[in-house]
Structure 1
């Protein structure tokens, strides 16, 4: 059977990516203010310089207000701002890499739901909702643990929102982006359209794929034949009390429909119906929660010290629940790949070159056509040089990088042993050449 190598090129919707390694989308916390473009360049250019073939810029919000799931997310509704991002795309292209922009909206996951400080600053903001929120969220609202002020989208507004995704895609192509990636998992608004847990509509968008079909058509109208990728969620990590959710089989069929509609690649991911540790599986981030300099920030975000401690306890319990096997989406990806004729991208817990090679593998056993990592690039922005040379990521999935982001902190490794190892590798020049002998 023919074997795919990590260094082989791949065509995604007419965009030739130089190898099969990608940086999965994560929060860059760049915002839109002065220095936003420079922040993104500082964050993402080292990855392209290290040889990574495809860089996904993390979830970027398509509306001028609302929709942010975390502080300091970037908005891309303004064509003047997006035009400035040509500085980023030029920097990536200078290293022969490709860059796709992930478009997103948080819907009920937005900060107006969960961030106490944000609600104080935006008392009139309402969350976009596909339908009336599920009873589980309404119960949390009555208990005061979240704040729901939903604005259920009428049919005309759904069409307008799909058109807005298309307009933002057009701005991105004008700024030099090579492709568009839709955030359709992690409790995003698009997942809420796809999920029977959230979607109880009685119009044409009761079939959530119809929304992605409208987005596809809007992207084609505004951005032409740009490479178009979407995540495809299976809600297999949903808690037991959730009775209506997307099964893996349903998600496989959904992926097949999206390929028929014209999506150029899919990223199958097994997630929950909620924004929980199914997204960032790994250890409980004890160091991050114990950081004295962040305690006031956590209290401001969650509405007091006791509530912050309650969230930390829930975080600890969830860390024990979710499987951490490397490539936890691999079987789902393999089943999707059997049904579609477009590239399938695998991410989720990959940390070693051996796992990358195993999941690319020989035809017949292959799980995916590309493999990606996310959190490891917080620890090693130039990780690609080492992976392509046959080495492994330093990231231990401790999650100390993720929790501080609820306060607006940038994603960076906060685990001393990993930071020390990275410093030693830098001194030895490992990231400059990928020369394993220097390690």
Structure 2
């Protein structure tokens, strides 16, 4: 059984250990301080020992497609070249870094953010097919607005080329792995999902879009490793008849591995952008915090609508309660049918859990929201015993304010107090010499 501290391969890249920071919203944007913001967000995890750092969803086009405020775009080669300062910072600590490329499609801010729609009336969502009837019915409530442009076949190829072009620039800037946002209701997910995809051309087979993207990356960026998330829409509400089953997701993973993808991240969720992708408690503190009320009103079209969204969030929290390692069973099934690494994330909270998953359900384990409370979490996990657990309570107070443009940080006093106690006790400091020697010996044994 592999150890958390042992290295593994993604394509031709050796990742020094099997603990990774999964993609989160950094809210860095593209301003003059964007690179410094990304460094401040991501470097602590590398300095504390994470083998792989995944930069959060990053857009391949210069306008539209932004699923949340403050997302960074990599459509401009000059800007991407500046990101070499970030990749150098990660490499200086011995870590590897991936960039997650995305386009939001029907999940974009031009759909759900009222203030953004008013400021950008000319923007249309890019759609795989005409928005499903259920979504159009939901739009009648005024919470969503669809003015979708259905991509032609030629435009799908052009979008795939944008992914390839951005991937090549990122590889030139020092990114070790290209990570595609193939789940969480982004545009790639929409191609894969029968809920969204009713095309009658070659891209009616949604996997074809991921194949063309890989072809574009290979033609422009050579053999840079490429991995993708793959969705199973097992949390879709009963009223949604057309959705991806776990069996279908396993089949998609097998096909992508055969086509040349270097690693896979299977995840479960709904067909909607809802609490199924985070699970956990209702974030009451975040919804009632006075600092974000005007931002919520701007996003959802007024205070009343914001309160109704909060009620919906409360209902979702009852349906999608926290489950430890909720993607483990799906990852285990995928790992049985592919020979490339399978990465597992979602609800992993303790060292004992990580040790049990490795070699069984997956080849590497990722954590996301816990990094908001503990930016240097890997030091504690990699140097800790089997009883080590994160301080995160999965309360989701970190995530909801991002709809109002706030940064993703822990906002729960008890959690912050415990993280502060651990920091004062030196829990986030590492003696890297031992881990380097261990990694070297594992490489020798392999």
Q: TM-score range by the shorter chain?
A: over 0.9
Q: Which of 126, 142, 149 is matched with 2:124 structurally?
A: 126
Counterpart in the other structure of 1:395: 392
Q: Give the 4+ runs in structure 1 shifted more than 2 A.
A: none
Tell me the alpha carbon deviations over residues 368-419 of structure 1, each in whole angstroms, 9 at most, x when there is no partner: 0000000000110000000102222110100000000001111100000111
Counterpart in the other structure of 2:444: none
Which residues in structure 2 correspond to 1:12-411 (within 5 Å)?
12-361=10-359, 366-390=360-384, 391-411=388-408
CA distance in 2, matches of 1:411, 1:197: 30
- Does structure 1 retain, via aligned residues, the 8 Å contact 2:97–2:175? yes
CA distance in 1, matches of 2:408, 2:140: 33
- Does structure 2 retain, via aligned residues, the 8 Å contact 1:25–1:374? yes
CA change 1:304–1:94 in 2 (3 A) is: same
Q: Which of 422, 426, 439 is matched with 2:423 structurally?
A: 426
CA distance in 2, matches of 1:185, 1:396: 24
CA distance in 1, matches of 2:409, 2:150: 36
Alpha-carbon distance, 1:293 to partner: 1.3
Query: What stretches of structure 2 of length at least 5 have no aligned partner?
Result: 433-446
Alpha-carbon distance, 1:433 to partner: 2.5
Tell me the alpha carbon deviations over residues 229-288 of structure 1, each in whole angstroms, 9 at most, x when there is no partner: 000100001111100000000110000000011000000000110100011110000100
CA distance in 1, matches of 2:323, 2:110: 34
CA distance in 2, matches of 1:409, 1:434: 34
CA distance in 2, matches of 1:399, 1:6: 27
For the residue of structure 2 that corresponds to 1:215, the secondary structure is helix
The Cα RMSD (Å) is 0.9
Alpha-carbon distance, 1:10 to partner: 0.3
Alpha-carbon distance, 1:323 to partner: 4.2
For the residue of structure 2 that corresponds to 1:59, the secondary structure is strand
Query: What stretches of structure 1 of length at least 5 have no aligned partner?
Result: none
For the residue of structure 2 that corresponds to 1:430, the secondary structure is coil
Tell me the alpha carbon deviations over residues 186-231 of structure 1, each in whole angstroms, 9 at most, x when there is no partner: 1100000000000000000000000000000000011110010000
- Does structure 1 retain, via aligned residues, the 8 Å contact 2:16–2:51? yes
CA distance in 2, matches of 1:110, 1:434: 43
Tell me the alpha carbon deviations over residues 316-347 of structure 1, each in whole angstroms, 9 at most, x when there is no partner: 01111114221100000000001101000000
- Does structure 1 retain, via aligned residues, the 8 Å contact 2:60–2:73? yes
- Does structure 2 retain, via aligned residues, the 8 Å contact 1:388–1:434? no
**TM-score normalised by the chain length of structure 2:** 0.95
Alpha-carbon distance, 1:434 to partner: 7.4
CA distance in 1, matches of 2:417, 2:85: 32
Alpha-carbon distance, 1:22 to partner: 0.3
CA distance in 2, matches of 1:427, 1:125: 49
- Does structure 1 retain, via aligned residues, the 8 Å contact 2:281–2:321? no
Tell me the alpha carbon deviations over residues 147-181 of structure 1, each in whole angstroms, 9 at most, x when there is no partner: 00000000000000001100000000010000100
